[in-house]
Structure 1
């Protein structure tokens, strides 16, 4: 800054602080220290943020009026000599966008964003420093509530402005700070620029604003403050920045208008977050409705082809579980896509016995979300038919599942399904829902399935063009659905269950319909049901006061985690399994390897869980206290 400009800037600043009264109107805290760190002046907002009024020019209160200061990085307490103000007075270099934590005398704490500028005399000698700081505690809490990453949080803090400028009664600029320059992308001209540091302002709808519509013009003409007036500034390079303007007219001691002060806050990140939130809500709404429509269609078609209520429940449950398994895989990959090997593991290799009878081989191929969902349903139908009528319905049957990608410019996935060693193959007289789904399930993507009813075994060849339907695989994925740790390993394929009469089971489930389903299933198997407990308080009372053998428990009860319940069951030596829509990462800490029945489930999986827990009791692995 030139000497003349620096003199005008310093003179303007000193005049402002000499007037003093307008500082109390600012929505930010401001205080001034001399070169020794003694507080010379502070405004009312600073006192409110500190929770106290420090003594002026008192050597025992140097560098800040705060009761105590703490670092936000690690929570450690600052000594007076460690404070940002002390650093500025020591180095003569300003500090920008520094976050610190203030502790008030009553013990409450707030997080503030501080901007400190040194003040020099005409000869370049340091005279003191000015600190403008604002409370960002609510913003910090809001960011934490939406679970923004630390990097994102830091970026938002870095983007927070402390742009301040003042005008005279005609709206001509009398002062601006460096943040104003950064925000508007130009050096304002004191005494010439009118109403705003930016030469162009626009309304939120994008229409150009006339000068008398500028927030500062409205505040001065109508002699009233404007809070959170949303406008868009345009920089010289054409970039537009949405801001909130906090504009306040300034009056002297007798009530005469002397000018105005404006604080500008960049809300670019907030706008992006709102747009992202709106997009996510729209996308979630779209996916939920599509999923519900798919489930509705599955229910209708399963009912039409069912031979009995039990047959309907089995077919419908299996198809919904197929959909749920694929959703789990896609969710783990943030809906980026699903690796073909994992799809096969989730739809075909349902328990350990399958690994000896199912041979799979092929390269790593990651399908986009929608074709992955449809291929998963197709694979489920093939596997279900193999278990009911085909090679997997007998112990000596086998399945060979291989795939390859043909072509470079226009790649095509070729997947061959070949069964052998099963019952005699009979060509069906009519085509049911399963056959129709297998043959037409990939038609929307240019895919097709050819069914072969041959004497040596049923076969199917699936062809699917991959252009635009696949994404690069992150890594080679082993075909393993993790069922060695889940209840599917003991439940799927179980045709009979042992007599469970006398087994007393505690059920903890907050969804009424699911609780009824679990209770009915257990009672049909001969179990005695304790509960169901719909919340953590009820469940804890039953655990502490009742006698039972095993427990089935949801991982979340109306928003309340069940960590304490799990620890109490473990302490009592009572075997239990989680019945939850969460994956293992959503289970209580220390129980990620516990037995898990994933929702949606069928009766065989639920009873399989009970069988597994009963075996632990019989082996003495866990025993009630």
Structure 2
């Protein structure tokens, strides 16, 4: 048996003697101290719900002394009602003879009310232990986690949680779409299964660096998807810290760059085509106007002749403008993935 030394129990020689735990049970004092030391409000009821005893936490919560609680029904002091509330766990426990609980909002806080039945030797219900556990902080944390989970799940970026060796433990819908990995696979996939050949070493080094330094890393890469389709992506890797603040895994936030890269290539192609359509005709127009200006200044060209040349060059410029308009329309109506603002501009809407 564990021993506790107390100055109240002295040996004949004046030295402290041993005090056994059983000695502290005199008058139920130890039981009462334990009862009052419990932070959750707890009270004991008889078979009809009458309060027989209440700990200090119950008195503090209800702002009522124990003598004023004893003899009252639980529903009167907790809920302020004249009878048991619907789906009362006490009523359920009296019939099921097992622990019953439910969650309720009262006193501007969320509580889980748990009822543990007290049975006699014959298994008859003789009362219960009524426990109120304040779960407000837990509920708020759960709500926050639910909101964050909804944000992650609906994100267009792939969000993946993995162990330090790359084994995937969670992923959102976008991750499944970008990587082609099923969220219902029997065997746990590994992030390296979607990394293109030759790029695995860079990913391994990045993960080791994140785990070792605790600092995130971002880089661009190419991932394999369904049917060997490849996606150009921006990858962010960050540590997932455990309760000690030590890395327990890594998270990947992957942004699909493929649409942007396609748009960039489409716009580069457009700019090259536009330049080709304008370069030679505009150089020709510029040369003709320059030659006309020289002849006109030297008196070798009349104003009427100059006017005729200008009308011809204007027709050339009008044709160039029409060619660009045709090109703009073709690009705007194409299936190329270009930014909507550019498509709007090119279509002259």
Q: Which structure: greater helix fraction? A: 2
TM-score (norm 2): 0.44
Q: Which has the higher contact order (CA 8 A, sep 6+)?
A: 2
